[in-house]
Amino acid sequence: MKNNIRTRFTVIIICSVLVPLIVFGVWLMHSFKSNQIQNQINILKQQANEMSAVVNQTVELCTLSSNVFLNNTNLIEHLYDLENEKEFSVKELYDFAINDISAMEKLIASNPYLYRIRVYSNKSDIDEIMPVLFSKERLNELNLSYSDNNTWCFDYTDNIFSANTRHLMSLLSPIKTEKGKTLGTLEVAVQMDKVFKSLFEKNKNACLVNDNGEVYGKNLNIDNKYELSNNKPVIWQNNNMLITAIRFDSLNSTYYSVYDLSSLYNTTNLWQLIFIIIVIIIALIISLLADRLVRNMLKQLYLVLDGVQKFSEGDMNVQIPVETNDEIGVFSKQINLLLLSIRDFINKQVKNEVIVKDTELKALQNQINAHFMYNVLECINMMAQIDEKYEISKAITDFGKLLRYTIGWKKPVVPLKNEIEYIKNYIALINLRYDGEITLLTDIPEKINEQLIPKVSIQPIVENIIVHSSNSIEDRKIFICAKNINNDVFIEITSDAKLPSDEDKKRMEQSILGTLDSKNTSGNGIGLHNINERIKRTFGEKYGINVIDDGIAMILPNQI
495 pLDDT more than 60: yes
Total count of residues recorded for the chain: 560
Separation in Å, CA 192 to CA 64, 120, 167, 219: 18, 21, 5, 17
Which of 512, 522, 525 is CA-nearest to residue 553?
Answer: 512
Q: Are 198 and 257 in contact (CB under 8 A)?
A: yes
- Three-state SS at 501: coil
517 pLDDT more than 90: no
What's the whole-number mean pLDDT along residues 217-221?
85
Sign of CA dihedral 18, 23, 26, 32: negative
Q: Is 166 exposed, middle or buried (0-12, 13-18, 19+ CB in 10 A)?
A: middle
CA neighbours closer than 13 Å in the CB half-sphere of residue 266: 4
Residue by residue, DSSP assigns 185-204 as EEEEEEEHHHHSGGGG-TT-
Q: Map out the domains of the chain with their CATH numbers.
A: 72-195 (3.30.450), 197-260 (no CATH), 390-399+408-557 (3.30.565.10)
520 pLDDT more than 70: no
pLDDT value of position 543:
92
Which of 206, 279, 205, 242 is CA-nearest to residue 36?
Answer: 242
Within 8 A by CB and 6+ apart from 156, the residues are: 142, 143, 144, 168, 169, 170
pLDDT value of position 489:
93
Cis peptide upstream of residue 131 (ω within 30 degrees of 0):
yes
CA angle 410, 414, 415 (to 5 degrees): 150
More confident residue, 543 or 506: 543
- Three-state SS at 409: coil
d(CA 142, CA 530): 83
pLDDT value of position 63:
93
What's the whole-number mean pLDDT along residues 491-506?
83
386 pLDDT more than 80: no
When the pLDDT of each residue in the chain is averaged and rounded to a whole number, the result is 81
Within 8 A by CB and 6+ apart from 510, the residues are: 516
Lowest mean pLDDT among 85-89, 295-299, 411-415: 295-299
Lowest mean pLDDT among 77-81, 189-193, 472-476, 481-485: 472-476
2 pLDDT more than 50: no
235 pLDDT more than 70: yes
More confident residue, 448 or 411: 448
More confident residue, 208 or 497: 208
Most confident of 72-81, 340-349, 459-468: 72-81
Sign of CA dihedral 467, 471, 473, 475: negative
Separation in Å, CA 1 to CA 6, 292, 303, 396: 9, 17, 21, 95
pLDDT value of position 402:
67
pLDDT value of position 403:
67
DSSP β-bridge partners for residue 1: none
pLDDT in tens, 109-144: 888 889 999 999 988 888 888 889 998 888 888 887
User: To 10 degrees, what angle do helices 327-386 and 262-312 make?
Assistant: 70
Percent helix, strand, coil in the chain (nearest 5)? 55, 20, 25
Q: Over the range 531-555, which residues count as b (16 or more CB within 10 Å of their CB) and which as e?
A: bbebbeebbeeebbbebeebbbbbb
pLDDT value of position 27:
85
284 pLDDT more than 90: no
Could you say which DSSP state residue 124 is in?
Answer: S
- Give percent above pLDDT 70 in the chain: 82
Within 8 A by CB and 6+ apart from 479, the residues are: 441, 442, 443, 492, 493, 494, 495, 496, 551
Q: What stretches of 177-294 adopt beta strand conformation (E)?
A: 182-191, 205-210, 215-217, 234-238, 241-248, 253-260
Separation in Å, CA 388 to CA 175, 374, 393, 395: 115, 21, 8, 13
Q: Are 558 and 539 in contact (CB under 8 A)?
A: no
65 pLDDT more than 70: yes
Strands 438-443 and 413-415: unpaired
CA–centroid distance for 332 within its chain: 47
491 pLDDT more than 90: yes
254 pLDDT more than 80: yes
DSSP β-bridge partners for residue 485: 488
pLDDT value of position 524:
47
CA neighbours closer than 13 Å in the CB half-sphere of residue 39: 7
Lowest mean pLDDT among 92-96, 371-375, 500-504, 533-537: 371-375
More confident residue, 379 or 120: 120
pLDDT in tens, 309-357: 776 776 767 777 877 776 767 777 777 787 778 767 766 666 656 544 5
What's the whole-number mean pLDDT along residues 34-45?
89
Global pTM value: 0.48
Could you say which DSSP state residue 557 is in?
Answer: E
Q: Is 220 exposed, middle or buried (0-12, 13-18, 19+ CB in 10 A)?
A: middle
User: To 10 degrees, what angle do helices 502-513 and 459-468 make?
Assistant: 150
Could you say which DSSP state residue 98 is in?
Answer: I
